Amino acid sequence: MKNIPDIVIHRLPIYLRALDLMARAGQDITSSQELSDRLGISSAQIRKDLSHFGEFGKQGTGYDVEFLRQQLRRILHVDRVWDMALVGAGDLGRALAHYRGFKNRGFRIAAIFDVDPEKVGKELAGIHIEHVSTVPEALPKRGIRIGIIAVPTEAAQEVADLLVRGGVQAILNYAPIRLAVPEHVRVEYIDPVIALQSMTYYLGNEGGESKTAIQPNECSS
C-alpha cells in the first residue's frame, strides 16, 4: 500500500462532499479550479492529492463528477455500509443515534452500549441498548470494527480498552482526552470546545479585527 500523507486522506472526504453536492444538482463535469473555488484549496493541491491514486481527469475536459465520486468512495471504502458501535447513551449519544447523515455516507450505528441500568434494556433510535461490559463479546459476532465514544472523560480510556478487546480498529472519540491504544487502532478526536476556544482567540484580538480561523481544508501537504 502506498504511503499517503494523512493530510491528503483527510481532504478526500471534503472533495467527496463537494462532488456529492454537484451530483445532486445534476452536474456532470467539474474541474480542479471549480473545486478550488468551492473549497478554498488550491487547484494544484487538488490535482496533487488525486494523483496519489491515479489519473481521473482529462486535460481540457476536467473530471466526470459521477466517475470521480465513485472512485473516491472506493478509495475511502465507503462504497459499502460500515456498522458502528456507539458507547454512551447520554445527550450526545442520543443526538448521534438520531443523526441521519451517517447512512447515506456509508455508516450505520448498529449497536449501542451504556453502563446506566436505567438505560440498558431500553431502545434508542430503534436499537436495543446493551451493557457496556458486553462489548468485547458482542462486537466480533457482528463484525463491527468502528466504535464511537460518547462518554464522560473519566470513562473514555476504559471504554476504548473494551472496544479494542472487541476488535475495533477505528475509534471516533468525543471525550476530551487522548487515548492510549495499540498502533493498529486509528483514533480521530472531536472536541468542539477546543475549536470554540481557538476561535475566541481571534474574537478577543486587540483592535477588534475580524480573523478567520484556519480550517483543516486550508492546510497543504
Instruction: Decide: 77 and 12 in contact? Cβ < 8 Å.
Output: no
Instruction: Tell me the domains of the chain and their CATH numbers.
Output: 6-75 (1.10.10.10), 82-194 (3.40.50.720)
pLDDT per position as a tens digit, 9-39? 999 999 999 999 999 999 999 999 999 999 9
Q: Over the stretch 40-91, which tens digit does the pLDDT of each residue have?
A: 999 999 999 999 998 897 777 899 999 999 999 999 999 999 999 999 999 9
Strand 127-131 vs strand 123-124: parallel, antiparallel, or unpaired?
Answer: antiparallel
Q: What are 83's strand-pairing partners?
A: 108
**Model pTM score:** 0.84
